[in-house]
Structure 1
Amino acid sequence: METSSAFPSRSMDAILCNGHLTGTFTSVKRIQRSKIRRPVKNRICGEEGDDGRILWGNMRHPSENQLSHRPSILSLIPLAPIVQAAPPAEALAQIQTLTSHPFTDISSDTRLACWTRSTHVFPAAFPRSISGSAVHQAVLPTYLCSLDRVAIARDIRARNMAGEMRTEVDKTVNEPQLFMTAARYVNPAFESDATGKHHSSNGEIPITLILTHANGFHKETWEPSLAHLILSPAGRKIKEIWSLDCVNQGDGAVLNRQNLGLNFDWADQARDLLQFVLSYLPDENVAGPSLPVVLPRLECPNPEFLQLDRSSPPNTDEPLYWRHRKLKLIGHSFGGCASMLAATSIPELFHDVILVDPAVRPKHDTEIATATRLAGSAVSRHDQWQNRTTAFSKFQKNPFFYGRWDPHVLNRYVEHALESSRSVKLKCNKLHEASVFTQCHNRVSESYYRFLNLLHEDRLNHRLDRSSRGSPLSHRFFVILANHMESIIPKEIASGFPSAVRMNCSGHLIVQETPVELAFLISERLTASNRPAYIEQELTYLLSKL
């Protein structure tokens, strides 16, 4: 066995999901688990229902579907019919849609050479969850240069708070259709049998990954992690990957610029994700190596799912092979919260949910102050440079943020997060980034309590039906935490997740700072043959040669 140079040895604390890790790590130890306490009459999370589930805001009645695996905290309003199938041609012309080979700068390994990337567009969830998100003519507020950044952040938060929160689908809503952009990574050489159906090298149904990014980033930021994941033992299982832009970030910001309002609700990123899975993700057995740029709408095999949180519960714990796919969801930070909201809405869609330092936690006393600080940092950031070379040089000299990133990630930020006119500027307007940071609608804490409800239902279900062969739904969730100082998730609740690993080698921006190590952990999860085993041991195994 040789030590692969692709995976540098670093210290991390871990919970082991399959009894071992194949690698050289020091001080690998179990995160102490503690019994999850369900709050009763908590002023933040609401009251505990008669069946033990936490009830909040728009709630399902506690006697209704008590073991339903549908959330009692109703965060996601249903998906209504779209009002426009494709964006205007002039908007579509602003984004690059040509097929390319995205990994050639990362490695010359022939296993990467056959992978291609193409860009696709589909309608976002309609309507939006808060008024002022989609507008017929976008006009963002302007602020005096002398105005303090905290004051600007507070004004942005106040505008979000003043927006009308929608709890039902209103057919009279008069707002334009927004659109999502997605990068599709596919291996056309993936093996298929005589019937045309795809199988991995060991005969399993191949994996389709769906990815969501952190606030202020873009869909291509995952590419260094994806390259190393493809080269890992899990790579032979993966046929297709979809990475989604948020509607106001990356190419989404360019495509929707004329209709983007300032307001933003995190629930809509989850609804956009489910809109894609339910109505636009092609069937595995008919999706060829090339697809149209504007994805056609498909009939939902289960139209009831379009009701999202209000859909009827399944009669089984087993995950679906949705359109003949084995779907696995991965989200980082803000994208991790959206992934948690989506996966707790219709959990049977996903075989695994991997959350990379997700913005998922109980609400705390400093929540507003933290959100205001982050929003203030966004509005005060530099967003324009003379050219890409100048921007890259400036980024490299920032030791506390960009300077910590993997070089391949930084290269993609310069290429895909910036756009050119006379100079280069961020695609994502910094006011939109700040608006997302204000997090006015409690989705961070809602996602956390939705998961606790799912965990509680799992335990109750398996206690009532000990003959159940399926693994608990909550065991499909795997959390990768940043170091103690920078992780979003408080130490005291980290032990509440059935399966989690802490990366002491990385700050919160794990995808940007340590894509190689992240790929290794994701690979371990995707190749695990059983569900969580909580083991504490010192590891001295060498990394397998990839």
Structure 2
Amino acid sequence: MTRDAYEYSQPDLPANVEYPNYPPLAAFEVPPLPATLPSPITPTQWAHSTHLVPGAYPRMSAPSALPDMGILTQPLSKGARKVAVAKAEAALRDLGGQELDDPSWPRLRRTVLWISLNRYVRHNHDGQGVTLFIAHANAMNKEIYEPMIRHLLSMPKHNISEIWVWEAANTGDSALLNAGKLDTMFHMREAVRDLVHFLEFYLPSSLTLDLPTHLVRRTSSTRASRQVIAVGNSSGGAVCTVAALHRPALFHSLVLIDPVILLFTISKSPMGTKETRPNFMTLNALSRRDSWASKAEAFAQMQRSPLLGRWDPDALRAYVEHGLHEALDGTIRLKMSPLLEAIGFSETWTVSEEAFLGLYRGELEERIQLRWIVPCRHSAEIEGPMGKGQTASRVWVRANGRSSNVIIEGAGHLIPQEKPQEVAEELAAFVQASFGQVASKL
């Protein structure tokens, strides 16, 4: 297949501005283990297993008086529902602002949250090769990357030996494991800590085929003997970037798939930008449907969605099969509730600007390669306070070299789900350019 892709040329960098200097990440401690574990799933094409690790401990945010979503489960007129959604969005925005303004924040909370990950590894690996770590967009479960992964692993030449795909603590199976403990705002710096915590303490020190469901914490923070390429879409791209700014030794390179990395020009706090206007993504999340009679009904309804209907059918099936579950009342519901999704959108901007400024100031280690994969359609570009049309500047925001970009024709923001084969081709090409080609062992 011919790659229908091209790149933006490099514009002049924006004028220098003064923004906050961000503090180091909060420290990590060892949490207690849970009593029950999920069972791994093992397909036949490659070794595939599911694993659990504790999230960063302690947590950063104290319990919050989150909006009561009960009213949105009741029959309401269109106008009344719109008012209720607007009130909930404003409440989340206020909570986020109060947290950033609080001089005692972060308030460390000794609650254990759990992170679920899928792992894909060569059957006959030689202990060498590249490890990919994939970080999802907000509300996207880990299995929706499997169509892209299948394309990637079926390619004849690449040097990838292992792939990890995580679910943030408020997403998918992680959200089910953490039920009853997600009563806080979810500052995206918490996701950064969770990512760093996994790579520093739980990524096994050497590449082995068989691993326990509960990964064992390493006795020191000596990094694993891996060449790790972090692949992040949307907010996952910003999270990976901030993690690399704080812990560069953990990363070989970053592949940023239309990341939410934007410069903000609105009111600031010591931790960065506070959003003062209604967030349309939060409003959309609070408004979304959360209950179906069956997964078949959910799939049919989502196929008609302007956003989800653009997806590759296999990615949408994976979302329905693994992103939904049967609730106690027998209905089919999202594993990540609309409220949790809305909290994620309301807090995304807190690492967006930190990632932008870190790249702009040249704070990312020069040896770390940076590859942007972005959509070309102006209508598909992510929108920040300065509106659309920022992609051509964002892809060249890094002050020093080792940065490149590619545009995927016809794609929207969730490129891995819309164009899984094209993204797989770009990942394979990037790995081959960085590490050379080998005969596929899969």
Q: TM-score range by the shorter chain?
A: 0.7 to 0.9
**Structure 1 residue 223: deviation in Å?**
0.9
Q: Which residue of 1 aligns with 2:69?
A: 142
> Does the CA-based 8 Å contact 1:333-1:356 persist in structure 2?
yes
Q: Which residue of 1 aligns with 2:323?
A: 417
Structure 1 pair 377–323 and aligned structure 2 pair: CA distance change class (3 A): same
Structure 1 pair 80–511 and aligned structure 2 pair: CA distance change class (3 A): same
Give 3-state SS (helix, strand or coil) of 1:410's partner.
helix
Q: Which residue of 2 aligns with 1:155?
A: 91
Selected match of 2:213 from 290, 293, 302: 293
Q: Which residue of 2 aligns with 1:248?
A: 170
Q: Deviations over 1:328-352 (max 9, x none)?
A: 1111101111001111112122111
Give 3-state SS (helix, strand or coil) of 1:473's partner.
coil
Q: Which residue of 2 aligns with 1:279?
A: 201
Give 3-state SS (helix, strand or coil) of 1:528's partner.
helix
Q: Which residue of 2 aligns with 1:239?
A: 161
Q: Which residue of 1 aligns with 2:31?
A: 83
Relative contact order, higher structure (CA 8 A, sep 6+): 1
> Does the CA-based 8 Å contact 2:133-2:228 persist in structure 1?
yes
Is residue 445 of structure 1 aligned with residue 346 of structure 2?
A: no
**Distance in 1 between residues matched to 2:163 and 2:360, nearest whole Å:** 29
Q: Deviations over 1:36-84 (max 9, x none)?
A: 245234xxxx2xxxxxxxxx1xx3xxxxxxxxxxxxx33x523321332
Give 3-state SS (helix, strand or coil) of 1:81's partner.
coil
Give 3-state SS (helix, strand or coil) of 2:133's partner.
strand
> Does the CA-based 8 Å contact 2:131-2:160 persist in structure 1?
yes
> Does the CA-based 8 Å contact 1:150-1:372 persist in structure 2?
no
> Does the CA-based 8 Å contact 1:371-1:439 persist in structure 2?
no
Amino acid at match of 1:408: D
Structure 1 pair 530–254 and aligned structure 2 pair: CA distance change class (3 A): closer
Amino acid at match of 1:328: I
**Distance in 2 between residues matched to 1:183 and 1:529, nearest whole Å:** 25
Q: Deviations over 1:368-421 (max 9, x none)?
A: 4776110000011011100111111111222x1111100110110011100013
> Does the CA-based 8 Å contact 2:99-2:105 persist in structure 1?
no
Q: Which residue of 2 aligns with 1:98?
A: 40
Q: Which residue of 2 aligns with 1:130?
A: 61
Give 3-state SS (helix, strand or coil) of 2:433's partner.
coil
**Structure 1 residue 141: deviation in Å?**
2.4
**Structure 1 residue 516: deviation in Å?**
0.5
Selected match of 1:348 from 235, 241, 249: 249
Is residue 402 of structure 1 aligned with residue 347 of structure 2?
A: no
TM-score, with length taken from structure 1: 0.69
Q: Which residue of 2 aligns with 1:485?
A: 379
**Distance in 2 between residues matched to 1:521 and 1:501, nearest whole Å:** 8
Structure 1 pair 423–450 and aligned structure 2 pair: CA distance change class (3 A): same
> Does the CA-based 8 Å contact 2:186-2:344 persist in structure 1?
yes
**Distance in 1 between residues matched to 2:262 and 2:224, nearest whole Å:** 33
Give 3-state SS (helix, strand or coil) of 1:353's partner.
strand
RMSD in angstroms over aligned alpha carbons? 2.8
Selected match of 2:186 from 264, 283, 289: 264
Give 3-state SS (helix, strand or coil) of 1:163's partner.
helix
Q: Which residue of 2 aligns with 1:32?
A: 9
> Does the CA-based 8 Å contact 1:386-1:424 persist in structure 2?
yes
**Distance in 1 between residues matched to 2:434 and 2:124, nearest whole Å:** 26
Selected match of 1:386 from 274, 280, 293: 293
What are the ranges of 5 or more consecutive residues in structure 2 without an aligned counterpart?
73-79, 268-273, 383-389, 437-441
Structure 1 pair 375–280 and aligned structure 2 pair: CA distance change class (3 A): same
Aligned-residue identity in percent: 27
**Structure 1 residue 529: deviation in Å?**
4.8
Structure 1 pair 254–352 and aligned structure 2 pair: CA distance change class (3 A): same
Give the total of aligned pairs: 408
> Does the CA-based 8 Å contact 2:62-2:184 persist in structure 1?
no
**Distance in 1 between residues matched to 2:172 and 2:224, nearest whole Å:** 28
Q: Which residue of 2 aligns with 1:324?
A: 225
Structure having the higher strand fraction is 2
**Distance in 1 between residues matched to 2:15 and 2:115, nearest whole Å:** 37
Q: Which residue of 1 aligns with 2:144?
A: 221
Larger radius of gyration: 1
Selected match of 1:473 from 367, 378, 381: 367
**Distance in 1 between residues matched to 2:103 and 2:391, nearest whole Å:** 30
